Amino acid sequence: MGFFGNIFKKQEQLEPFDIGRLKVDIHSHLIPGIDDGAQNMDQSIAMLAKFEHLGFKKVVTTPHVMMDSFPNTSEIILKGLEELRKEAKLHGLEIEIEAAAEYYFDETLMPKIANKELLTFGDNYVLVEFAFHSKPQFLDQLFFELKAKGYRPVIAHFERYMYYLGSVDIAESWRKDGINIQINLNSLSGQYGPEVKKQAERLIDAGEFDFVGTDCHRIEHLSLLEENLTNPYIHKLGNYLVKNLVI
């Protein structure tokens, strides 16, 4: 077929990536009824069973903590974790379950940092998120205070912040300063739109990320991930030593 045959030859399909190689998911919303994730225990157990089916050994579930919408406390989250663990055991699930939180940068966060009230995962990592469309102020102060108290910031789903689209320079700069970058796996499926997908690809191409996560709110998110495991960028990120592996 020669030259033109090579042009029109269908691109070889990759095998599904073994997502269980990541071992740990560090971003999810599995505790029922406390944020916009699982709304009841049945949904929570279904998601945990799916995580186990996909090969994950552990999940660190991270409920939202934001003043206006989900004013969760550490006590609420840890109580929910205890109940979720008991129910998972009753269903014969073996996956390990831990809890931290996804802290929204609002006026309640700095006092929590000062009082060392934050829930962490791994080696004192803290998951932090920002508004998607309005660039936050005082980020230098936020990062300084977190690190001064011994926390290791992880910026949730960096690729989804509209004001950083088109470049990975900020991610590169932050990482040099000890700020970790997390990518949502389903950003690569196009779940959040083509611009976000492209930004996630930029981060992977540049190697400017530290963690990946499902940000699972409902079982459909895990089904979508499973359907997209042939994505070459999911294969590519698997070639990096993402920090999920050591949590």
Residues 18-246: name the CATH superfamily: Metal-dependent hydrolases (3.20.20.140)
Q: What is the structure's pLDDT at 10?
A: 53
Q: Once rounded to an integer, what is the mean pLDDT over residues 36-46?
A: 98
The pLDDT tens digits of the residues spanning 176-202 come to 999 999 999 999 999 999 999 999 999
Query: Mapped to the 3 state alphabet, what secondary structure does 122-146 carry?
Result: CCCEEEEECCCCCCCCCHHHHHHHH
Nearest to 244 by CA among 186, 181, 188: 181
The pLDDT tens digits of the residues spanning 60-69 come to 999 999 999 9
Q: Once rounded to an integer, what is the mean pLDDT over residues 63-79?
A: 97
The pLDDT tens digits of the residues spanning 92-110 come to 999 999 999 999 999 999 9
SS3 label, residue 173 = helix
What are the structure tokens assigned to 167, written together? 């470049």
Nearest to 66 by CA among 112, 33, 115, 15: 112
Q: What is the structure's pLDDT at 4?
A: 47
| Residues 6 or more apart in contact with residue 244 via CB below 8 angstroms | 22, 23, 24, 25, 26, 211, 212, 213
The pLDDT tens digits of the residues spanning 5-35 come to 554 445 678 999 999 999 999 999 999 999 9
pLDDT at 117 > cutoff 60: yes
Q: What is the structure's pLDDT at 187?
A: 98
The pLDDT tens digits of the residues spanning 122-175 come to 999 999 999 999 999 999 999 999 999 999 999 999 999 999 999 999 999 999
Nearest to 109 by CA among 101, 163, 192: 101
> Where residue 244 falls among pLDDT bands split at 50, 70, 90?
confident
Q: What is the structure's pLDDT at 11?
A: 60
> Where residue 240 falls among pLDDT bands split at 50, 70, 90?
confident
